[in-house]
Amino acid sequence: MKCPYCGEIDNKVIDSRLGKDGNVIRRRRECIACGRRFTTYEQIEDIPIMVIKKDGRREIFSRDKVRSGIQRACEKRQVSMDVIEEILDDLERDMRESDQKEIPSQTIGEKIMTRLHGLDDVAYVRFASVYREFKDVSDFVSELRKLQEKTTPESRDEAEDE
């Protein structure tokens, strides 16, 4: 590690500590040549995940972009930010564990829809309407019918009792 003060490469590590989130190591170093101390941070190199869009373009996965889409779908619904962050964490972990460096946007969208379907039907339909690019009301009604078919008579009876 090059000393930021004198440019020499020889230095020694005085102290090492794990960062707050456990993903970074903080090292205090002392330059052998000038005796000054400085701090360095060591972390695993993050290889970006590329998303293959429907039109074939590739772009770097953006957690913020996905968060924004989920938030719009969950707007005015009783879905907390903690739950949305959990969905994002699970999605990102699944993508990294898949060992694929390029993931089709369809795969990402389907995973999100699966989570929203089990969480909030309205948020699910909102997300699906944008993700599946509903062209008209018939597409929307068709998706609602599928959702209703998945609702069993017992679950409808329970909802009416509440």
pTM value?
Answer: 0.60
10 Å Cβ neighbour count for 129? 14
Same domain, 65 and 102: yes
Number of structural domains found in the chain: 2
pLDDT in tens, 87-139: 999 998 899 888 888 999 989 998 998 898 888 888 888 887 776 666 666 66
Give me the domain span that covers residue 37: 11-43
Q: Are residue 30 and residue 65 in the same domain, yes or no?
A: no
Among residues 12, 16, 68, the alpha carbon closest in space to that of 37 is found at 12
The verdict on 129 and 87 lying in the same domain is yes
129 and 70 in one domain?
yes
If asked whether residues 111 and 89 sit together in one domain, one would say: yes
Asked if residue 143 has pLDDT above 70, the reply is: no
Cite the beta strand spans of the chain per DSSP E: 11-18, 24-31, 37-43, 50-52, 58-60, 102-104
Query: Could you tell me if residue 103 is inside a domain?
Result: yes
pLDDT for residue 44 is more than 90: no
Other Cβ atoms less than 10 A from the Cβ of 130: the count is 12
